[in-house]
Chain A
Amino acid sequence: MDWELYERYRSTVLLAALLFVASLLLAFQKSSSVQHLRAFLVRFALPPQHFLAQLKPTSPSAETAGATASEEDRFPAILDVSDRFSGEMRRKLQVLGEENNRLREVLELKGSKWPRVVVAHVAGRDPQRWFQEIVLDKGKDEGLEMDSPVLAIVEGREALAGRIVEMSAHVSKVMLLQDSLSEVAATIPGTNGEDGVVEGTNAHDLVLKYLDRGSQVKLGDLVVTSGLGKAFPPGIPIGWVEGLEPDPRQLFLQAKLRPAARSNQIRVVLVILP
């Protein structure tokens, strides 16, 4: 009789058990057991993301295309032989070339300005938290620390991307500037050192708050980290002013910013170590 009852309700019993387990996982996110389980699952789930992180969906640059054309002129016979694979090989070369350029930019910056940094690749991101976080392929074992600033490289210059908020042995999570919980002390060079706080909006743009109502800020001004609070080194570009308006209480001005590091373009980052 009891067995019949179980047969009848076994799906509901299983659901209750699964929900109970999932609730325990949620409640004990920080415990070592859950962290171990997460590390195990990450090994299973990250390979496709690692693979895709190497791809770039954009079209090749004119410079690369030009170089390929000249190679064709010089080695027509070789290219004839490998005709079947040339398209695939060319694409691989383009991807590697772009990767090489990005890493060269990173290395130059690393050597000249930030001697104590770790270079990491973006290994994944959650579509529902697209503007809030990215996952890096480096973690505690590579020397990363909590709250370390993360810089993106944009056209050979660094730009603030966010900071580390979670880590496991070989993976870490970055809270992007666009996250509404993110706050960064900022200043605008050349305006008598006007300070403010840059906050995220959970969308593409950022907001610079608490500017004086008589502020000299104008459209196109560059906003950089001020170094106050010591969370981020001073002088790192955050974004450019795109619009100005009074805040809802009419006490301050607030500026809408176009971020220097667009969250969609981040592939390789520098994590600054203390």
Chain B
Amino acid sequence: MKKTLFFFFTVWILLWGQVVSDHFLGGTLFAVQWILIAVLHFGLMRGPWTGESMGFSLGLLVDASSLGLLGVHAILFSLAGYAAGMVRRQLDASKLWTQAIFTWMVSVVYFVLYLVVEKFFSANEGSFQWAYVTVPLMNAIFAPVVFQALDYWSQVWDMEPIEL
């Protein structure tokens, strides 16, 4: 029960955080993908099972909140969570540089895949925007903050990472 509540509130808070952030920064070069960073945190700290589950749930909610194609973010965030979980043993996720560089790399791949999926499934082919360059950098800058915040949030709930 406690675990369910922990994940429910985490998803809810992340969704609110992303919506508030997009309200003020969305469409600018300084937007931050808090949810993507959080999915990477769950993958790196708790393994691929949790990473991809959180990625799928949050991705569906992001798709629903934008009325974009339902499933695009679900696919991309699931893959991100899985990838983070699979490389967790090769990386020392407690190091700030590791968090930042890994987040930057995944964000770049995310945007490339986003354009590919849009090309296949959407009538409106995605086109290059400068945000695709700056947003991964913003993600990398804020990744250590999000990792720290989620570690603290887990401690508050007494839900330190246990691989599922």
The residue in chain B whose Cβ has the minimal distance to the Cβ of A52 is B23
Instruction: Judge if A91 is at the interface, Cβ distance under 8 Å.
Output: no
Flag if A22 contacts B75 (CB, 8 Å): yes
Digitize B98-117: 1 where CB-to-A-CB distance is under 8 Å, 0 elsewhere.
00000000000000001001
Q: Do B49 and A14 have beta carbons less than 8 Å apart?
A: yes
Chain B residue nearest to A49 in the complex (CB): B19
Q: Looking at the complex, which of B58-66, B89-97, B142-150, B153-161 is the stretch in contact with chain A?
A: B58-66
Report if A93 contacts B (CB, 8 A).
no
Q: Which of A89-123 contact B (CB under 8 A)?
A: none
B123 CB, nearest partner CB in chain A, Å: 7
List 8 additional contacts besides A27-B121, A45-B15; criterion CB under 8 Å: A11-B82, A18-B52, A26-B72, A48-B16, A126-B67, A127-B26, A129-B68, A181-B123
Q: Are B65 and A124 in touch, CB under 8 angstroms?
A: yes
Contact indicator per residue, chain A 39-78, by CB within 8 Å of chain B (1) or not (0)? 0011011101100100101000000000000000000000
Q: In the complex the two chains form, is A41's CB within 8 Å of B49's CB? A: no
Q: Which residue of the partner chain, among B27, B70, B85, B126, contacts A264 with CB atoms under 8 Å?
A: B27
B residues 25-68 near A (Cβ < 8 Å) are: 26-27, 31, 47-49, 52-53, 56, 59-68
Q: Which of A25, A124, A179 contacts B71 (CB 8 A)?
A: A25
Give the segment of A131-139, A151-159, A210-218 that binds chain B. Answer: A131-139
Contacts from A to B (Cβ < 8 Å): 10-12, 14-15, 18-19, 21-27, 29, 34, 37-38, 41-42, 44-46, 48-49, 52, 55, 57, 124-133, 135, 166, 171, 173, 179-181, 202, 264
The tally of CB-CB contacts under 8 A between chains A and B is 130
A166-B48 in contact (CB<8A): no
Residues on the A chain within 8 Å of B139, using CB: none
Q: Which residue of A lies closest to B62 (CB)?
A: A45
Closest residue of chain A to B33, judged by CB?
A127
Which residue of B has the minimal Cβ distance to A202? B127
Judging by beta carbons under 8 Å apart, are A46 and B65 in contact?
yes
**3 nearest CB pairs, A to B:** A130-B27, A126-B66, A41-B64
CB-CB < 8 A to A127: which residues of B?
A: 22, 26-27, 31, 131
Contact residue among B53, B70, B117 (Cβ-Cβ distance under 8 Å from A29): B70
- Of the candidates A27, A41, A125, the one whose C-beta lies within 8 Å of that of B26 is A125
Chain B's interface size range is 35 or more
Whether B24 sits at the interface, judged by CB under 8 Å, is yes
30 pairs, A vs B, C-beta closer than 8 Å: A11-B48, A12-B82, A14-B49, A15-B52, A15-B78, A18-B53, A19-B79, A21-B56, A21-B74, A25-B74, A26-B69, A34-B70, A38-B64, A41-B63, A45-B61, A45-B62, A45-B65, A48-B15, A52-B19, A55-B23, A124-B19, A124-B65, A125-B26, A125-B27, A125-B66, A127-B27, A128-B68, A179-B124, A202-B129, A264-B27
- The CB with the most chain A CB atoms within 10 A, among B15, B20, B71, B123, is that of B71
Bound form: Cα–Cα A37–B72 in Å: 15
For residue A129, which residue of chain B has the nearest CB? Answer: B68
Question: Smallest distance from the beta carbon of A238 to chain B beta carbons, Å?
Answer: 20
Q: Are A18 and B67 in contact (CB under 8 A)?
A: no
Q: Are B67 and A133 in contact (CB under 8 A)?
A: yes
The residue from A19, A131, A135 contacting B78, defined by CB atoms under 8 A apart:
A19
Once bound together, how far apart are the Cα atoms of A260 and B130, in whole Å? Answer: 24
Q: Which A residues lie within 8 Å of B85 (CB)? A: 11
User: How far apart are A227's CB and chain B's nearest CB, in angstroms?
Assistant: 25
Q: Which of A11, A26, A46, A124 contacts B49 (CB 8 A)?
A: A11
